[in-house]
């Protein structure tokens, strides 16, 4: 059974006197225990809102969430606030985009870790401090004893993100949601953090002793296909609040079938491409209110657009290579697209 | 940190020196003067000149100033001519200062005790009835003049309802032992509970009137700061850890929101003294503010000089304490 089943999840922001904004429009995907799943898409496609909806962290007022989020057999949507609070930090952890603003500037790193252990495991402060030191070691922070007493501004960007990961994993959650965890970091640190995440969530094939964090499922939210390529077992490509293509990593990268996925891959700059070749961007940008109701939301930007695309909403169906697609006119052969 | 403190004390000396010059010149440029105040308008020129010579006011202002400085260095700030004629100005101040301190502390405690929790709740329930009521009452608190509020409170609670005394610091009938000059504290120290309770009852109305502006300001700043902090990413992180509301409120929201509030509490203590002048006058509360008010009426230069310089020193010291407390609250200031 899947650990996390997101089914037809929709999030609508409503403000008095304004048109409601549909941020997530019927997203469905599953995550198995220990699996790493990517949610990929450009800014505004609803990937962060999806994560916040799963965590129950969206504001109560002005937001309508519908559909279903089943975690470990329990429906999370509509769960009483106290029950949801018990799960957050214990069964579900989350790592955010900007590690500096996501850490409390006036509380030492150590306390920001131990407060999770104190809350969910009732670990006494002293013992929790020792565990927090072990966790910092585990996420690759040197001299953890000293770091426990330091404040976020005294740490480097990479260390802050490592500390944030330590907090999210302190209670060994079954699921970790990482929302653009590397976007605010420079490139060399990005690679280190990705390697760390990959190592931490990998099924327990190494003996990690007391800080064994294996078998944690990871949902990786990113706009960076490079991140997905290096990490994810399965990839969901989002556009306009819906999943438009889903498949295992290698086949999807080798042969993308949705014109949007093809466009995303083509717009990644490549070092091994022909010299002087221009980047090929996707024309236009994501519109605010998603017109999935009457046709395909990607149609205005799609090079493969047909007459039906602007009148009939495509459903999620098996396309070429048994790939799940939401498209009337998928890109057939991968000849001109390099793997 | 130590260097910083020393430097701030250096600033304090500069502030006091500059203020003493300005104050000296300014007081003597006011129309009238102690001589007219003492002798009245129909005094003969001879008697006026005689009194001026006695008070030393016939000499040039800069000579008077250096004479004042020389005497002040040895603790002699002159003799009162109007507030308590014949008494030493410094001892008038020292004798009245505990009263004003007692009053101001109670006013600030009331303002903070009501302003911070209400500001927090108002921010959490933004747009709710409590938020709206708080915003309106804080506007009223700032807009209504302190002396008007003082008269209103006195009329309703002291005159009409008779619940609290109308004026003074303590009933004359109470035989209280004086230890520190803080009447409430004295009663507690000497176990004269009735004296403490009576002094507290005398404090209630003036403190309430005096607290209206600081309350309004503390409430507004707390509310705004909490609203800001609630939008911060680290509060979302705290929620993502499943922490209890108590921990999120204290450790993550209020601790960060307190920085601007602490600043404003420091600035408000300065405003408190101007409020105390009016409040003490209305309630005939024998504090520094009342001495200041009477001192102005009767042009009592020595008392005015002592009180205003002392008030400036208190103001600078309070703001020094505020700045130092930053370092306790915000680790980023420490480095």
**In the predicted model, what is the mean pLDDT of chain B?**
87
Residues of A within 8 A of B332 (CB-CB) are 105-106, 151, 153
pLDDT at residue A92, as a whole number? 94
Question: Using CA atoms, how far apart are residues B33 and A21, in angstroms rounded to an integer?
Answer: 72
Beta strand A324-325 with A21-31: parallel, antiparallel or unpaired? Answer: unpaired
Q: 């309350």: which residue's tokens?
A: B215
Shortest distance between the Cα of A29 and any Cα of chain B, in A, equals 22
Q: Give the tokens for residue A322.
A: 């048994």
B238, B244, B330 ranked by CB distance to A106: nearest: B330
Between residues B122 and A336, the one the model is more confident about: B122
| Percentage of residues of chain B with pLDDT beyond 70 | 99
Residues of B within 8 A of A89 (CB-CB) are 240-243
The pLDDT-based confidence of A335 (bands split at 50, 70, 90) is low
Residues of B within 8 A of A116 (CB-CB) are 241-243
- The per-residue pLDDT for range B167-210, each reduced to its tens digit, is 888 887 777 778 788 888 888 888 888 888 888 888 999 999 99
pLDDT at residue A60, as a whole number? 83
Q: Taking 80 as the threshold, does the pLDDT of residue B271 lie above it?
A: no
Helix, strand, coil distribution of chain B in percent, nearest 5? 75, 0, 20
Residues of B within 8 A of A168 (CB-CB) are 240-241
- For an interface test with A, the pick among B240, B253, B256, B325 (most A C-beta atoms closer than 10 Å) comes out as B240
A85, A106, A167 ranked by CB distance to B329: nearest: A106
Longest Cα–Cα distance of chain A, Å, equals 67
Question: Using CA atoms, how far apart are residues B270 and B118, in angstroms rounded to an integer?
Answer: 23
Q: Taking 60 as the threshold, does the pLDDT of residue B228 lie above it?
A: yes
Longest Cα–Cα distance of chain B, Å, equals 85
| Among A316, A320, A318, A291, CA closest to A22 | A291
Question: Using CA atoms, how far apart are residues B118 and B200, in angstroms rounded to an integer?
Answer: 24
The pLDDT-based confidence of B335 (bands split at 50, 70, 90) is low
pLDDT at residue B33, as a whole number? 82
pLDDT at residue A136, as a whole number? 92
- The per-residue pLDDT for range A28-59, each reduced to its tens digit, is 999 998 889 999 988 878 899 999 999 999 98
- The per-residue pLDDT for range B275-327, each reduced to its tens digit, is 888 889 889 888 898 999 899 888 889 999 999 998 888 888 888 888 888 87
- Is B288:B307 a contact under the CB 8 Å cutoff? yes
pLDDT at residue A205, as a whole number? 41
Q: Taking 60 as the threshold, does the pLDDT of residue A336 lie above it?
A: no
- For an interface test with A, the pick among B234, B261, B329 (most A C-beta atoms closer than 10 Å) comes out as B234
Between residues A292 and B308, the one the model is more confident about: B308
Cβ B243–A119 below 8 Å, yes or no?
yes
Cβ A153–B332 below 8 Å, yes or no?
yes
Cβ A167–B232 below 8 Å, yes or no?
no
- The per-residue pLDDT for range B142-155, each reduced to its tens digit, is 888 888 999 999 99
pLDDT at residue A206, as a whole number? 43
How far, in whole angstroms, is CA B70 from its chain's centroid? 29
> Touching check for B233 and chain A: CB below 8 Å?
yes
pTM of the shown model: 0.83
Question: Using CA atoms, how far apart are residues B105 and B100, in angstroms rounded to an integer?
Answer: 8
pLDDT at residue A179, as a whole number? 92
Cβ B244–A104 below 8 Å, yes or no?
no
Residues of A within 8 A of B233 (CB-CB) are 96, 98, 101-102
Of A130-134, A268-272, A333-337, where does the model show the most confidence? A130-134
| Among A129, A198, A132, CA closest to A164 | A132
Q: Taking 60 as the threshold, does the pLDDT of residue A212 lie above it?
A: no
Cβ B234–A85 below 8 Å, yes or no?
no
pLDDT at residue B183, as a whole number? 83
Q: Give the tokens for residue B315.
A: 């103001």
> Touching check for B241 and chain A: CB below 8 Å?
yes
Question: Using CA atoms, how far apart are residues B101 and A321, in angstroms rounded to an integer?
Answer: 83
Cβ B241–A89 below 8 Å, yes or no?
yes
- Is A322:A257 a contact under the CB 8 Å cutoff? no
Residues of A within 8 A of B242 (CB-CB) are 85-90, 116, 119-120
Choose which CATH entry (3.40.50.150, 3.30.70.20, 1.10.3720.10, 3.20.20.140) describes domain B89-170+208-330.
Answer: 1.10.3720.10
| Among B285, B270, B284, B277, CA closest to B316 | B270
Question: Using CA atoms, how far apart are residues A317 and A324, in angstroms rounded to an integer?
Answer: 5
Q: Give the tokens for residue A238.
A: 């989002």
- The per-residue pLDDT for range A104-118, each reduced to its tens digit, is 999 999 999 999 999
Cβ A105–B252 below 8 Å, yes or no?
no
* Average pLDDT value for residue range A292-312: 85
pLDDT at residue A187, as a whole number? 84
pLDDT at residue A288, as a whole number? 55
In order, the DSSP letters of B208-260 are HHHHHHHHHHHHHHHHHHHHHHHTSHHHHHHHHTT--HHHIIIIIIIHHHHHH
* Average pLDDT value for residue range A239-252: 90
Residues of A within 8 A of B239 (CB-CB) are 57, 88
- Is A181:A96 a contact under the CB 8 Å cutoff? yes
Cβ B247–A115 below 8 Å, yes or no?
yes
**In the predicted model, what is the mean pLDDT of chain A?**
86
* Average pLDDT value for residue range A67-74: 93
- The per-residue pLDDT for range A311-332, each reduced to its tens digit, is 888 888 888 878 889 988 888 7
pLDDT at residue B218, as a whole number? 94
Q: Give residues with Cβ within 8 angstroms of B218, minimum separation 6.
A: B111, B112, B115, B116, B119, B261, B264, B265, B268
| Percentage of residues of chain B with pLDDT beyond 90 | 30
pLDDT at residue A151, as a whole number? 93
Shortest distance between the Cα of A115 and any Cα of chain B, in A, equals 8
Question: Using CA atoms, how far apart are residues B51 and B58, in angstroms rounded to an integer?
Answer: 9
Q: 């002005």: which residue's tokens?
A: A62
> ipTM higher than 0.85?
yes
Residues 136-195 of B with CB under 8 A from A: none
Exposure on the CB side of residue B188, measured as CA atoms within 13 A = 8
- Is B30:B39 a contact under the CB 8 Å cutoff? no
Cβ A116–B330 below 8 Å, yes or no?
no
* Average pLDDT value for residue range B98-122: 93
Cβ B251–A104 below 8 Å, yes or no?
yes
Identify the closest residue of chain A to B241 by CA–CA distance. Answer: A89
In Å, how far are A43, A71, B11, B173, B248 from B126, measured between CA atoms? Answer: 30, 33, 42, 50, 18
- Is A72:A91 a contact under the CB 8 Å cutoff? yes
- For an interface test with B, the pick among A102, A116, A122, A171 (most B C-beta atoms closer than 10 Å) comes out as A102
Q: Taking 70 as the threshold, does the pLDDT of residue A287 lie above it?
A: no
Shortest distance between the Cα of B9 and any Cα of chain A, in A, equals 28
- The per-residue pLDDT for range B258-269, each reduced to its tens digit, is 989 988 888 888
B232, B234, B242 ranked by CB distance to A119: nearest: B242
Which chain A residues touch B if contact means CB-CB below 8 Å? 55, 57, 85-90, 93-94, 96, 98, 101-108, 111, 115-116, 119-120, 151, 153-154, 164, 167-168
pLDDT at residue A74, as a whole number? 92
Residues of B within 8 A of A87 (CB-CB) are 242
Domain boundaries, chain B: 2-73, 89-170+208-330
> Touching check for B244 and chain A: CB below 8 Å?
yes
Alpha-carbon torsion angle B189, B194, B199, B202, nearest 10: 170
Phi/psi at A179 (5° precision): -100, 100
- The per-residue pLDDT for range A144-156, each reduced to its tens digit, is 999 999 999 999 9
């Amino acid at each position: 059974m899947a650990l996390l089943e997101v089914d037809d999840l929709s999030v609508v922001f409503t403000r008095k006197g304004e048109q409601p904004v549909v941020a997530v429009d019927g997203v469905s995907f599953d995550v198995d225990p220990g699996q790493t799943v990517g949610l990929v898409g450009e800014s505004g496609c609803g990937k962060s809102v999806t994560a916040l909806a799963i965590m129950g962290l969206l504001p109560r007022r002005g937001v309508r969430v519908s559909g279903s989020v089943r975690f470990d057999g329990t429906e999370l949507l509509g769960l009483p606030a106290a029950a949801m609070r018990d799960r957050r930090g214990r069964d579900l952890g989350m790592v955010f985009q900007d590690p500096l603003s996501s850490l409390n500037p006036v509380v030492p790193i150590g306390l920001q870790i131990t407060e999770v252990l104190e809350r969910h495991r009732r670990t006494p402060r002293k013992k929790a401090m020792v565990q927090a030191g072990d966790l910092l070691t585990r996420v690759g922070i040197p001299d953890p004893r000293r770091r426990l007493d330091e404040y976020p501004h005294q740490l480097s960007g990479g260390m802050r993100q490592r500390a944030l990961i330590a907090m999210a994993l302190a209670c060994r959650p079954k699921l970790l949601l990482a929302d653009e965890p590397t976007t605010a970091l420079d490139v060399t640190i990005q690679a280190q953090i990705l390697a760390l995440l990959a190592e931490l969530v990998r099924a327990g094939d190494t003996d990690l002793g007391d800080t064994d964090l294996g078998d944690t499922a990871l949902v990786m939210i990113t706009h960076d296909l490079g991140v997905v390529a290096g990490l994810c077992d399965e990839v969901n490509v989002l556009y306009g609040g819906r999943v438009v293509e889903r498949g295992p990593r290698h086949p999807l990268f080798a042969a993308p079938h949705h014109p949007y996925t093809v466009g995303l891959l083509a717009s990644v700059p490549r070092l091994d491409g022909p010299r002087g070749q221009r980047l090929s961007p996707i024309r236009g940008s994501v519109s605010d209110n998603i017109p999935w109701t009457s046709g395909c939301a990607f149609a205005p930007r799609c090079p493969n657009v047909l007459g039906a695309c602007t009148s009939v909403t495509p459903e999620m169906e098996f396309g070429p290579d048994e790939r799940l697609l939401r498209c009337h006119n998928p890109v057939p052969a991968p000849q001109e697209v390099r793997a | 940190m130590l260097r910083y403190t020393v430097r701030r004390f250096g600033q304090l000396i500069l502030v006091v020196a500059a203020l003493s010059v300005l104050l000296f010149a300014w007081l003597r440029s006011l129309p009238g003067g102690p001589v007219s105040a003492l002798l009245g308008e129909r005094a003969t020129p001879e008697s006026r000149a005689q009194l001026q010579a006695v008070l030393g006011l016939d000499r040039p202002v800069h000579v008077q100033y250096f004479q004042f400085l020389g005497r002040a260095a040895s603790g002699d700030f002159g003799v009162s001519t109007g507030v308590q004629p014949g008494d030493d100005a410094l001892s008038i101040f020292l004798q009245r200062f505990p009263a004003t301190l007692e009053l101001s502390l109670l006013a600030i405690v009331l303002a903070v005790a009501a302003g911070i929790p209400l500001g927090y709740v108002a921010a959490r329930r933004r747009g709710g009835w409590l938020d709206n009521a708080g915003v309106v009452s804080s506007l009223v608190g700032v807009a209504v003049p302190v002396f008007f509020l003082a008269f209103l409170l006195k009329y309703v609670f002291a005159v009409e309802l008779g619940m609290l005394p109308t004026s003074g610091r303590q009933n004359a009938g109470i035989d209280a032992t004086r230890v520190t000059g803080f009447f409430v504290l004295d009663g507690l120290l000497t176990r004269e509970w009735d004296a403490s309770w009576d002094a507290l009852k005398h404090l209630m109305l003036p403190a309430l009137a005096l607290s209206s502006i600081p309350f309004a300001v503390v409430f507004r700043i707390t509310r705004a700061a909490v609203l800001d902090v609630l939008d911060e990413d680290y509060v979302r992180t705290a929620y993502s850890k499943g922490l209890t509301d108590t921990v999120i409120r204290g450790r993550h929201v209020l601790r960060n929101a307190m920085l601007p509030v602490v600043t404003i509490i420091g600035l408000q203590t300065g405003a408190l003294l101007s409020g105390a002048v009016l409040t003490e006058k209305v309630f005939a509360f024998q504090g520094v503010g009342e001495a200041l008010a009477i001192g102005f009426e009767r042009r009592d230069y020595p008392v005015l000089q002592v009180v205003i310089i002392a008030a400036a020193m208190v103001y600078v010291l309070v703001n020094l304490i505020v700045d130092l407390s930053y370092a306790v609250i915000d680790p980023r200031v420490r480095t």
